[in-house]
Amino acid sequence: MTDSDALKILRECVADDGRVFFSKHAIERMIQRKITRPQVLLCLEKGKITESPCRDPKGDWRCTIEHYTAGSIVTVAVAIKHNNNGERTVIVTVF
């Protein structure tokens, strides 16, 4: 998967909010680091990939994307998972 492919999928998932899921770890880091859900979604919608997509042992695509928002750079590690209904994005962690 190319950076361009990943960005297209991430932006499609953000447009359909039901396709973006937050891991427990990501929610904990968001609270700890005072990063909001809208900041994370804006990062996915407008950000640039800083670590290109690669397959993890489960076969999911993982990448890192960042965007300058609310006075700081927000970095989001995501997993792009595929199921019978298409792709969905899981927010793995946020920093």
Q: What is the span of the domain harbouring residue 48?
A: 3-94
Q: Which of 10-19, 24-33, 37-46 has the lowest mean pLDDT?
A: 10-19
pLDDT digits (tens, 9 = 90+) for 32-90: 999 999 999 999 999 999 999 999 998 999 999 999 988 999 999 999 998 777 767 78
Please report, for the domain that includes residue 75, its CATH number: 3.30.2310.40
Per DSSP, 59 falls in state S
pLDDT at 89: 75
pLDDT at 90: 83
H or E, element range at 73: strand 72-83
pLDDT at 55: 96
Amino acid at 20: V
Number of domains in the chain: 1
φ, ψ (nearest 5 deg) of residue 49: -75, 130
